[in-house]
Amino acid sequence: MKIAFDVHGVIDAYPEIIYPMIKLLQKMGNEICIVSGPSKLLLFKELEKIKFYDIIKNHEVEIYSVVDFLIDSGVKMWKDDKGNPWANEEDWWDSKAKICQKHEIDFIIDDSEKYRSAFDLIDCTFIHIDELI
Ligand SMILES: [Mg+2]
């Protein structure tokens, strides 16, 4: 199985639970990846801060970024006053389902219900973090 985790509200909210969970799932033969909003570069930095350093450093876990995906897709994007990138709502909320479809991910664990409806159309199960923890 290929299983994706979100960072904000999932990994960064419950690092002490998610870390061993990822290790266990890997030991059971599953492939783990991260699907999250910020650029891959930013995600790398954030994961280092919460001691997910070894997992990402050894490339045991692939990281897929919504922002990078939208830029690569040629979607119109802009930055707010703080320099955070934005896209229109429809493109943004469909993006995680598109990423999961592209990379044949079976499950995604996320904290934002707004991503869920796009998963009705593809062969990937959306699990809200509250259903898990
Ligand atoms: Mg989140």
Question: Any idea what DSSP says for residue 10?
Answer: I
The CATH number of 2-132 is 3.40.50.1000
Cα separation of 15 and 100, whole Å?
22
Which pLDDT belongs to residue 26? 95
Distance 88 CA to ligand 1 centre (A): 17
By the 8 A CB rule, do 6 and 112 touch?
A: yes
Distance 108 CA to ligand 1 centre (A): 11
Q: What residues does each domain of the chain span?
A: 2-132
Which pLDDT belongs to residue 124? 98
Could you read off the pLDDT of 106-127 as tens digits, one per residue? 999 999 999 999 999 999 999 9
pTM strictly above 0.75: yes
Distance 20 CA to ligand 1 centre (A): 19
Distance 94 CA to ligand 1 centre (A): 14
Taking 50 as the pLDDT cut, the residues of the chain under it are none
Which pLDDT belongs to residue 53? 87
